[in-house]
């Protein structure tokens, strides 16, 4: 079973029952290719362009050279539909005097009472209490991720109400300006999040936002 080291924002989305994960494909296709949205793992489906296929948990990229010769590359999905993902979170141990045993407790439940906790990455598998199931997946380049998809991943930007009120009084086209500001700010946050995760010097195969790699957007629901 795969694991997700959940952040507080991700836990908040999981508490609502749904979350989207953004993971870079293990293998990147050549340039000048297109992708197909993966929704059923065992069905061969034509894309809107008519030249891409999704076959049994793989995405097929098709590219053409200057002579018109096609090349096919199948890349396995990291999180195919139906896969289970265990949610790891900040945790601790506490002694239960009723059962006279040590039990696992979670910072999410007792944020003010737990004085010493451990990171989600160190959580033992036996302490996992929440599991996700992959219900859908799509493949796109990271710079093509939409604002709504960013929000479902846990990346969002909110403008203070006092700022919004001041701008509303001063401007007639506030809605359009605010929408552009929120989109721009959220993209900046998403870019920072992506680079902090995948451009880390300690990563063997690091990539950056500027590289615009293909990513798998994984739609999950709580089991």
Q: What is the CATH number of the domain that holds 161?
A: 2.30.130
119 within a domain of the structure (yes/no): no
Report if pTM > 0.85: no
| 153-168 mean pLDDT | 61
143 within a domain of the structure (yes/no): yes
Which tens digits make up the pLDDT trace of 30-58?
Answer: 775 655 444 444 444 444 333 444 455 77
**Cα–Cα distance, 5 to 85 (Å, whole number):** 10
120 within a domain of the structure (yes/no): no
Which tens digits make up the pLDDT trace of 89-128?
Answer: 999 999 999 999 999 999 988 887 788 889 999 999 999 9
122 within a domain of the structure (yes/no): no
pLDDT band at 158 (very low <50, low <70, confident <90, very high): low
**CB-side neighbour CA atoms (13 Å) of 37:** 6
| 11-40 mean pLDDT | 78
| 128-156 mean pLDDT | 90
H/E stretch holding 119? none
3-state secondary structure of 59: strand
58 within a domain of the structure (yes/no): no
State how many domains the chain has: 1
Q: What's the token pair of residue 43? A: 């069905």
State the pLDDT at residue 43.
41
State the pLDDT at residue 38.
47
State the pLDDT at residue 128.
96
144 within a domain of the structure (yes/no): yes
State the pLDDT at residue 53.
43
72 within a domain of the structure (yes/no): no
In terms of residue numbers, what domain contains 198? 2-26+78-88+128-222
Of 7, 19, 32, 22, residue with least CA distance to 152:
19
pLDDT surpasses 80 at 215: yes
Of 59, 76, 28, 21, residue with least CA distance to 212:
28
pLDDT surpasses 60 at 178: no
| 125-143 mean pLDDT | 92
82 within a domain of the structure (yes/no): yes
| 193-209 mean pLDDT | 85
When mean pLDDT is compared over 42-56, 68-82, 118-132, 172-186, the highest value belongs to 118-132
Question: For residues 106 and 192, is the Cβ–Cβ distance under 8 A?
Answer: no
Q: What mean pLDDT is reported for the chain?
A: 79
Cα 222 to chain centroid, rounded: 15
């Amino acid at each position: 079973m795969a694991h997700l080291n959940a952040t507080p924002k991700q836990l908040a989305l999981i508490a609502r029952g749904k979350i989207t994960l953004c993971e870079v494909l293990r293998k990147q296709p050549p340039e000048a290719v297109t992708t197909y949205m993966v929704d059923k793992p065992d069905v061969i489906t034509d894309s809107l362009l008519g030249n891409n296929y999704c076959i049994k948990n793989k995405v097929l990229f098709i590219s053409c050279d200057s002579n018109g010769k096609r090349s096919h590359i199948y890349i396995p999905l990291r999180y195919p539909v139906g896969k289970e993902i265990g949610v790891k979170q900040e945790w601790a141990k506490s002694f239960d005097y009723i059962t006279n045993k040590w039990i696992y407790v979670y910072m999410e439940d007792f944020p003010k009472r737990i004085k010493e906790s451990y990171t989600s990455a160190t959580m033992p598998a036996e302490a996992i209490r929440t599991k996700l199931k992959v219900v859908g997946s799509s493949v796109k380049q990271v710079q093509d991720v939409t604002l709504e998809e960013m929000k479902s991943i846990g990346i969002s930007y909110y403008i203070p109400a006092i700022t919004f009120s001041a701008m509303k009084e001063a401007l007639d086209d506030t809605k359009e300006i605010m929408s552009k500001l929120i989109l721009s700010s959220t993209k900046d946050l998403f870019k920072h999040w992506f680079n902090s995760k995948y451009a880390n010097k300690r990563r063997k195969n690091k990539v950056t936002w500027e590289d615009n790699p293909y990513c798998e957007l994984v739609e999950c629901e709580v089991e």
